[in-house]
Structure 1
């Protein structure tokens, strides 16, 4: 009887393990079903009328934006117009809403009120897949995906356009750096670009933003990890992009980031304080406050 009991318990052990894990299995199955439903709801329907990609101007009209429509905006009443070839530097104290505007421009954050328009059409009117090819974005924290340098510059496009990848790398002045890596453009960057330095990640991220010669180029603190040579390469890349008719928007803390730009937007506490020609705005915000002699008398 003892032997039979031992044999029976051994024979039933796999079944007991299945039963003990059954709840996890059911939960996983339900979670998968919910995920499939969510992905189906988020699928973008093909638009019957395709707008041409923008080539002329960017307009912000009474823009309010923030991370979530259920929360209060963090940016209020921003109004400006940029034409092809313009370069805008967004400056201001920390927490003034600079990066928030950058995220709204590329569609990461929603427009809560007002509008962002490219050639007169709101961002939502464009097919997002097509519009994505016309926008380049370098976020404040550069994240590269597991894959090769070429994959990351080419945005993991199935076409793997070698000429476009090389053109973007040369535009970012990072080609000479890449060819010195162990496998050149086929060097694997590791998870989140772990084998690269912060400066290398930032320069490859700039090349990714320049891939496909986008019309709107949004760079959030693009020189935060760059040395003097990297700063110079960034300035030249911005000048080249403006020269071909792109609109370049740069969120900046360091003055060198706006060297190749012609306009400045100064933000404070989420609000637009000044916008216009770079020299005029910089003079305005650096001027000492005017003292009212009648009140001081």
Structure 2
């Protein structure tokens, strides 16, 4: 019987449903106990030859059985309701926590492990909370009450029964540490295998292209075999515990009945009628003493997956975000009339954990209101890190980033991100309609607003040509669209957000020259009236920027206009020459 401290703390969010399950479980156990005493009385009446009394007690027992059936139906209904509520609340809490942790957390965690925790781990916790924890309370309450009552009837039998119940609850606990340790090992193996399967499915096209499907399949089969062996080792220990518990239950029941029978057969024990009732009562009560213990073992096995998943859940809930939401300002000052903000990086330095060299070092730049600033440089120069710092997925160790002179750390995350719309190089479109994907930016947008945003992004014509127009269901990640179409949908979504600061992170990286030209025209329209930060490898997309900042090894190498930087013959010129872009 494992009651995990952290899981009990988590149960605080759902203590109401758990309390209802406890109450109904106690009511069902009371019905079982009443039935047992009525049956004992009926059998004793038969021994005394009182047929009418036996029939009356038997009829009352049938009435209790009917009432118990109704209680069991109600308990199961409430248990299912409580389980669904518990799963929903816990998943909401975990997803909210993932949102707080942001992308920085997921870069160090395998997607399959997070998915396994959210799906299988939470499913395993359903029976733990809705069945196992209530049964723990019932298991300590019902046998205690029954043994206490039995001690007034037959102290010797009550002593034997109480010792057996205590043994069933205490002795198997010596295996709990081993079970929990092996269970955690099994959960780790299970999560790793789930991650491998998810990764293999996501990369199936690559595996087929390199003829690696068979090799990866063999490796997965080996991992699955290891998980099977880990599970069997765990079950062997669990079966020993089950065997010990079964022995103590049978021995305790037999011992209590023998103690009652010995008292009944002892010289001077009295008339057969009352003595027979005691024997029957001990037999029936012994069964009801151990019934909660048997149910506890059953529910423990049902909720064991959740118990072993507690490490993953606890690690997720206790993780600290790289950029905590500590800001107090819920709106950006200085935006009277809704004008575009001024963006500044002031001596910003950031080093990723575990690395010695900063990803960005003493970066300073200014994007005046309504102007476009481009960040360029070779791969690894720090451009994407600057975007992550601006969105506060990360916080700089030195320096600050401001909007209209306000440190973005003084804004709440919701207020900050309401100022920024992002078109990233890896556009993510969800399984759903085109309209659903667009309304992620603004759920209340009208159809007319959707069309207007898509026209500005150059996306309306191809969307209108889809089989169901804006109601067309896109495949996962927008797989039914071309790269350029996905980018234009993403741009339309950003425009629909109507944020004053637009970040274009490699927005044309996955399209051909013709598609790049079409998107460039849409981007030019999108930048009107907004402060814009453009991240680009393709320098042809930044020639018209008001200011260009060249990053090299995380630091600003040079900055200026396109013509001035070419004339200087420095880092920018070398980048242009490498891409053969005409001056």
TM class by shorter-chain length?
0.7 to 0.9
Alignment-derived partner of residue 481 in structure 2: 196
The 3 A distance-change label for structure 1 pair 46 and 281 is closer
- Structure 2 residue aligned with 1:294: none
In structure 2, distance between residues paired with 1:44 and 1:78: 23
Q: Counterpart of 2:473 in 1: which secondary structure?
A: coil
Shift of 1:15: 9.3
Quote how far apart the aligned CAs of 1:94 are: 1.4
Partner of 2:553 in structure 1? 269
Local SS of the residue matching 2:397: strand
Question: Could you tell me which residue of structure 1 aligns to residue 373 of structure 2?
Answer: 88
Helix, strand or coil at the partner of 1:90: strand
Q: Which runs of 5+ in 1 are unaligned?
A: 1-13, 289-297
1:185-224 matches, within 5 Å, as 185-224=470-509
Is the 1:56–1:84 contact (alpha carbons within 8 Å) kept by the matching residues of 2? yes
Structure-2 residue corresponding to 1:105: 390
Whether contact under 8 Å (2:441, 2:497) holds in the other structure is no
SS at match of 1:89: strand
Q: Which structure has the highest helix share of the two?
A: 2
Q: CA distance change for structure 1 residues 178 and 56 in 2, over 3 Å: closer, same or farther?
A: same
1:23 maps to: 304
Contact 1:106 1:137 in 2 (8 A): no
Deviations 1:208-227 (A, max 9, x none): 22223221111111111223
Q: Distance in 1 between matches of 2:573 and 2:315?
A: 58
CA distance in 2: counterparts of 1:278 and 1:237, whole angstroms: 21
C-alpha distance in 2 between matches for 1:189 and 1:278: 39
Q: 1:156 to 1:27 in 2, by over 3 A?
A: farther
Q: CA–CA distance in 1 between the matches of 2:391 and 2:324?
A: 19
Distance 1:72 1:166, change over 3 A: farther
Shift of 1:120: 0.3
Question: Which fold has the larger relative contact order, with Cα–Cα distance below 8 Å and residues 6 or more apart in sequence?
Answer: 1
Residues of 1 paired with 2:325 and 2:447: CA distance? 29
Aligned equivalents of 1:46, 1:101: Cα separation in 2:
20
User: Structure 1's 268 and 194: CA in aligned 2 closer, same or farther, altered over 3 A?
Assistant: same
Q: 1:51 aligns with which of 332, 337, 342?
A: 332
Name the CA shift for 1:263/1:152 in 2 (closer, same or farther; >3 Å).
same
Count of residue pairs brought into register by the alignment: 274
Shift of the 278–149 alpha-carbon distance from structure 1 to 2, 3 Å rule, reads: same
Indicate which of 148, 153, 169 corresponds to 2:438.
Answer: 153
Residue 142 of structure 1 aligns to a residue whose secondary structure is coil
1:73–1:112: 8 Å Cα contact kept in structure 2? Answer: no
Q: Please tell me whether the aligned partners of residues 59 and 82 of structure 1 are also in contact (alpha carbons under 8 angstroms).
A: yes
Q: Distance in 1 between matches of 2:429 and 2:476?
A: 7
| Contact 2:546–2:561, Cα closer than 8 Å, also in 1 | yes
- The answer to whether the Cα contact below 8 Å between 2:329 and 2:412 also exists between their aligned partners in 1 is no
Secondary structure, in 3 states, of the residue corresponding to 2:497? Answer: coil
2:550, 2:557 within 8 Å by CA — same for their partners in 1? Answer: yes
- The whole-number CA distance in structure 2 between the counterparts of 1:268 and 1:181 is 43
The 1:57/1:171 distance shift into structure 2, 3 A limit, reads: same
Q: Evaluate the alpha carbon distance shift between residue 180 and residue 259 of structure 1 in structure 2; reply closer, same or farther with a 3 A threshold.
A: farther
Alignment deviations for residues 99-128 of structure 1 (CA, whole Å, 9 cap, x no partner): 211222222232221011000001122232
**C-alpha deviation, 1:182, in angstroms:** 1.5
The answer (yes or no) to whether the contact 1:68–1:110 under 8 Å persists in 2 is: no
Give yes or no for contact 1:221–1:251 (8 Å, CA) kept in 2.
yes
Q: Cα gap change, 1:45/1:114 in structure 2, threshold over 3 Å: closer, same or farther?
A: closer
Structure 1 residue 147, shift from structure 2 partner:
2.1
Deviations 1:71-95 (A, max 9, x none): 7531111111111221122111111
Asked if structure 2 preserves the Cα contact closer than 8 Å seen for 1:164 and 1:212, the reply is no
The residue aligned with 1:295 is none
Q: Out of 224, 227, 230, which is 2:512 matched to? A: 227
Equivalents in 2 of 1:186, 1:229: separation in Å? 27
2-side partners of 1:276 and 1:130: how far apart?
31
Q: Could you tell me the TM-score, scaled by structure 2's length? A: 0.42
Q: Secondary structure at the match of 2:432?
A: coil
- Structure 2 gaps of 5+ residues are 1-294, 575-583
> Would the aligned equivalents of 1:139 and 1:219 in 2 still touch at CA under 8 Å?
yes
SS in 2 for 1:166: helix
The whole-number CA distance in structure 2 between the counterparts of 1:168 and 1:133 is: 17
Aligned to 1:129: 414
Aligned counterpart, 2:401: 116
